Amino acid sequence: MRILLDKFSKSFGDVRVIEDMTLEIKDGEMLALLGPSGCGKSTTLFAICGIHKVTGGRILFGDRDMTGVPSQERNVGVVFQSYALYPHMTVAENIAFPLRIRKLPEAEVKRQMEEMANLVHIEALLDRRPAELSGGQQQRVALARALVRRPNVLLLDEPLANLDAKLRLEMRSEIRRIQLETGITAILVTHDQVEAMSMCDRIAIMNAGEIIQIATPQEMYRNPRTAFVAGFLGNPPIAFIEAEARGGMLAVKDADIRLPMPANATTPPDGTPVIVGIRPENLGRDGDAPIRGRISFVETQGRENLYDLTLANGSVLRSIQRESDDVSLNDEVEWRVRSDQLFLFAQNGERL
Partner 1 sequence: MTGHLKSWPIVLALSILSAPLVLMYAYLFIDTFTNAPPGSFIPNEFTLEHWTFLWHTPPGRLSIWRVTLNSLMFATSTATLVVVVSSMAGYVLSRLNVPARGFFLAGVMVLHAFPAITLIVAIFLVLQIVGLYNTLIGVILVKAAIDMPLGIWLMKGFYDTVPWEIEMAGIQDGASRFTVWRKLVLPQVKPGIFALGLFAFLLGWGEFILPQVLAPSGNAQVLSVYLAALIADDNNFDMALFKSVGLFYIAPVLILFFFFQSYLMNIYGGGTKG
Return the residue of 76, 230, 250, 289 that touches partner 1, per CB under 8 A. 76
Q: Are 271 and 245 in contact (CB under 8 A)?
A: yes
**Phi and psi, residue 210, nearest 5°:** -125, 145
Residues that bind ligand ATP (CB under 6 A): 12, 15, 17, 35, 37-43, 191
Question: Minimum CB separation from partner 1 for residue 77, in Å?
Answer: 7
Plot region of 52 (φ>0 → left; ψ -120 to 50 → alpha; else → beta): beta
Q: Are 347 and 275 in contact (CB under 8 A)?
A: yes
Question: Minimum CB separation from partner 1 for residue 170, in Å?
Answer: 23
Beta-strand relationship, 239-246 and 210-215:
unpaired
- Rg of the chain over Cα atoms, rounded to whole angstroms, equals 24
Nearer to Mg ion, 189 or 311 (CB): 189
> What is the residue type of 206?
M
Nearer to ligand ATP, 41 or 351 (CB): 41
Question: Minimum CB separation from ligand ATP for residue 35, in Å?
Answer: 6
Kindly state whether residue 80 participates in binding partner 1, applying the rule CB under 8 A. yes
**Phi and psi, residue 268, nearest 5°:** -75, 155
- Extract the runs of DSSP E, i.e. beta strands, from 43-92: 56-61, 64-65, 76-79
Question: Minimum CB separation from ligand ATP for residue 227, in Å?
Answer: 20
Find the part of the chain contacting partner 1 (CB under 8 A) among 65-73, 119-127, 232-240, 313-321: 65-73
Question: Minimum CB separation from ligand ATP for residue 197, in Å?
Answer: 17
Report which of 89, 97, 134, 130 is spatially closest to residue 113, judged by C-alpha positions: 97
Nearer to partner 1, 71 or 321 (CB): 71
Question: CB-based burial of residue 281 (10 Å sphere; 0-12 exposed, 13-18 middle, 19+ buried)?
Answer: middle
Contacting partner 1 within 141-200 (CB under 8 A): 145-146, 149
Contacting Mg ion within 23-52 (CB under 5 A): 42
Find the part of the chain contacting partner 1 (CB under 8 A) among 68-76, 210-218, 229-237, 285-293: 68-76
Enumerate binding residues for partner 1 (CB under 8 A): 49-51, 71-73, 75-78, 80-82, 84-88, 97-98, 101-102, 145-146, 149
